[in-house]
Amino acid sequence: QVQLAESGGGLVQTGNSLRLSCEISGHTFRTYRDREWRMAWFRQAPGKEHEFLATITLRGGATEYADSAKGRFTISGDNDKDVAFLQMNNLRPEDTAVYHCVARRDRSEITSRWDAYDFWGQGTQVTVSS
């Protein structure tokens, strides 16, 4: 099993910043901890599909971003603590959504699809007021 625990969401005003954290743990993760894991952030606004934001390989640190996330969002990881972060700056009301962390053992497969991952966190709410 793999558990993903997100934190860092909340209510902020337009223009402010938030940093989301996602800790990965569990028996399956510990068993394969020395392998490369890919973690990613998606968000889902009410009535909309899951939107890919960014992904990172936890050991190698390779990152990819959706065009919508470039410039304001930064994904990073702490290899020792098994945590991925999403730094979000200059937040706007349209960023309001539930932000989910997802993970899989890295493999050659598309990285921007929600169903291309094997493990999903419950999400953390981000609300940006105008």
φ and ψ of 27, to 5 deg: -60, -45
Contact 50, 100 (CB under 8 A): yes
Q: What pLDDT does residue 129 have?
A: 97
Rg of the chain's alpha carbons, rounded to an integer?
A: 14
Q: In what order do the strands lie in the sheet with 73-78?
A: 3-7, 18-25, 83-88, 73-78
Residues of the chain with pLDDT under 50: none
Residue with tokens 């960023």: 95
Q: Rounded to whole angstroms, how far apart are CA atoms 108 and 86?
A: 23
87 residue type, one letter? Q
Q: Report the pLDDT value the prediction gives residue 25, as an integer from 0 to 100.
A: 95
What is the C-alpha separation between 15 and 84, in angstroms, rounded? 23
Q: Would you call 27 helix, strand, or coil by DSSP?
A: helix
> What is the rounded distance in angstroms from the CA atom of residue 13 to the CA atom of residue 128?
5
What confidence score (pLDDT) does residue 69 get? 96
Calpha distance 128→72 (Å, rounded): 14
